Structure 1
Amino acid sequence: MDGNQTKRGSAPAGRYAMPGTEVREVRSKGGRTYRLFVSFPQEEPPASGFPVIYLLDANSVFGTMAEALRVQSRRPEKTGVVPAVIVGIGYPTDQPFSAERHSDFTMPLSESELPVHPRGAAWPEQGGAEAFLAFIEKEVKPAVERDYPIDRDRQTIFGHSLGGLFVLQVLLTRPDMFRTYVAGSPSIHWNKRFIQEEAERLSDRISEGNLQVSVLLAAGEIEKTHKSRIPQHAEALYSVLSAFEGDGVRAEYCEFEGEGHISVLPVLISRALRFCLNPGGPHTPYSPS
């Protein structure tokens, strides 16, 4: 069939636009340009508003999460996934990843502390995590809450790899900023000393207020063979966090069989949706009727 022809009754060929989504570009007060991807439910919002998921590296994973949520939230009584708003924070590029993520997701490190680049090259700029967090807190969140009915008590942040490291940095230093934290294949080795030191201080932060947070740590089984030891570091941190279960921290660790650092993303996203949008407990598996 000619690429310009269509079957009888079908729509003309053209670029696909995912239903219920929009994209906008914003310039932060710090002068950096971001691309925000938003997915919003077509249902009427509950009285408290919709849960919201703030998704890092949106250029690579927004479509996967938005479609997974759109399909699964049709039958929340079966899937355990309720309708929610997704706010993907990405960059003005059509590539899946931008070098700017290195600055946004990391705390300041000296050259001697950085891992060795696998190709011997210099790493991109590092150390802008505080500015990026301020952008989310003071610019992105207020805009989202102005434009959509959001339940501020059900906010999630999702990150993978360096994005997972960023999620953990927020959890350990600002645990009250989100209700749910999802760190997939987190690059703890990038700043292991900082994560360990802040984890030791977590008990003090918990005692300062009535904290109620949920944390999902996850990695792919194949990652165990890499020298970065991502699954091992993530599981060790899970052991630390699970000790605070009686103090308002709900922690879970998942390791996905047969998956690597990138291939883990689709299965992690599906698991994360059930984790953050069904916080009451295990979901009821779907069974065709």
Structure 2
Amino acid sequence: MENTSMKKVTLAGTDAWSVTSGINGQEYRVQIYQPSGKVPASGFPIIYTLDGNSTFAMTAEMMRIQSLRPEKTGVAPAIVVSIGYNAEALFPPKRHYDFTMPAPEKDLPKIPFGRPLPEQGGALDFMSFVEDQLKPLVESRYSVDSSRQMIVGHSLGGLFVLHMLFVRPHSFHTYIAGSPSIHWNAMYLRQQEQKWLEEVSKGRTKLNTRVLIAVGELEGNLKVPMIRNAEEQVERLSKLEEFGVQVAYQAFEAENHMSIVPVLINRALRFNGWAEEESNESKK
């Protein structure tokens, strides 16, 4: 009989925490990857990813591989922090509560096959958890460059990223919204956008913000207007360049609502421009 042994697989350079929110009482699975090698004088850039149950491993490995040669790949070494749940499901129902704003049930999409609608409306509490509890906790244990922070979300997570841009525009330097479910909280999102636009256009809010909104080309086949909503959102935000908001739009060829996730993350790692900034800094 062949002599074999089995060991559990672990990802290099990673830690896992269980963190209970002091705001909503929810317990979160927080997974963190820190690059090996010398820590920059200003600290590492940092990327927060939502839906950590499904996104952490691929994001950490993409970062680990590509940041070996940032001058070639355009990917600067950065800390990756994923926020997920203590569950085996890739997309636990609790994400619905954390990623959505309050809305009357009549205004929400119908769930297929008559399934009950998960609890909604906890996005403001989740924002407070991320900004006021989790980020200080991470920064107390890792060397973080607080001027270079990114958040990445997909689907309802993409909707949450847009909400956070409008409600807490100074929380991150870069906002990545993949296939954002704008239709889910369309009215509330537009209200928050209008308030934010007023602050920005009157010069009350000074920004240095990058935004990427992306969809898969095949999402044009969905019943909801995923692509049109994203394009209209980009069109409105594109008018704010003079106020420090840089917006990009990408429709990934031959990708659908789920297959977009890895290509979105891969694009996000290079979208921030951190590798170029570090290269320019080293030449001074």
Which TM class, normalised by the smaller chain length? over 0.9
The one-letter amino acid paired with 2:258 is: I
| Residue type at the aligned position of 1:178 | F
Q: Which residue of 1 aligns with 2:282?
A: none
For the 8 Å contact 2:103–2:188, the answer to whether it is kept is no
> What amino acid maps onto 2:176 in structure 1?
V
Partner of 2:264: 268
2:219 pairs with 213, 216, 223, which one?
A: 223
- For 1:8, the equivalent position in structure 2 comes to none
1:219 counterpart letter in structure 2: V
d(CA) in 2 for partners of 1:117, 1:209: 38
The aligned counterpart of 1:84 is: 78
Identity %: 46
Q: Which runs of 5+ in 1 are unaligned?
A: 6-11, 284-289
What residue ranges of structure 2 are gaps of 5+ in the alignment?
Answer: 280-284
What does 1:130-149 align with in structure 2 at a 5 Å threshold? Answer: 130-149=124-143
Q: How far apart in 2 are the matches of 1:238 and 1:201? A: 17
Once the 2 structures are TM-superposed, how far is the Cα of residue 205 of structure 1 from its aligned partner? Answer: 2.4
| Partner Cα separation in structure 1 for residue 216 and residue 25 of structure 2 | 36
Q: How does 1:237-248 map to 2 (within 5 A)?
A: 237-248=233-244
Partner AA of 2:13 in structure 1:
G
What are the equivalent positions in structure 2 for 1:1-289 lying under 5 Å apart? 5=4, 12-29=5-22, 30-206=24-200, 207-278=203-274
Is the Cα contact below 8 Å between 1:73 and 1:82 reproduced in 2? yes
Confirm or deny: 8 A CA contact 2:48 2:83 kept in the other structure: yes
**Per-residue deviation, 1:53:** 0.7
* SS of residue matched to 1:83: coil
* C-alpha distance in structure 2 between counterparts of 1:59 and 1:178, whole Å: 22
The residue identity in structure 2 corresponding to 1:16 is: V
What SS does the aligned partner of 1:200 have? helix
Once residues 27 and 166 of structure 2 are traced to their aligned partners in structure 1, the CA distance between those partners, rounded to angstroms, is: 27
Q: Distance in 2 between matches of 1:111 and 1:15?
A: 44
How far the C-alpha of 1:137 sits from its partner, in A, is: 1.1
**Cα distance between partner residues in 2 of 1:279 and 1:120:** 48
Quote how far apart the aligned CAs of 1:125 are: 0.4
**8 A contact 1:73–1:81 mirrored in 2:** yes
Secondary structure (helix, strand or coil) at the match of 1:183 reads strand
Question: 2: distance between equivalents of 1:278 and 1:262?
Answer: 27
Other structure's SS at 2:269 match: helix
**Residues 105/25 of structure 1: CA separation in 2 closer, same or farther (3 Å cut):** same
- Partner secondary structure for residue 32 of structure 2: strand
Q: Secondary structure at the match of 2:192?
A: helix
Within 1, Cα distance between the matches of 2:156 and 2:197?
25
Mapped contact 1:199–1:240 kept (Cα < 8 A)? no
Q: Deviations over 1:93-123 (max 9, x none)?
A: 1221111000000000111111111222221
Superposed CA RMSD: 1.7
Q: State the 1:165 CA deviation.
A: 0.4
Separation of aligned partners in 2, 1:71 and 1:94: 26
CA contact (8 A) 1:51 1:277 kept: no
Aligned with 2:183: secondary structure?
helix
| 1:280 positional shift | 5.4
In the alignment, the residues of structure 1 paired with residue 85 and residue 207 of structure 2 have an alpha-carbon distance, to the nearest angstrom, of 32
Provide the C-alpha distance between the structure 1 equivalents of 2:231 and 2:37, rounded to a whole number of angstroms: 38
1:253 and 1:109 map into 2 onto residues whose CA distance is: 28
1:61-107: per-residue Cα shift (whole Å, max 9, x none)?
A: 11111100100100000111110001100000122111100000000
Aligned length in residues: 275
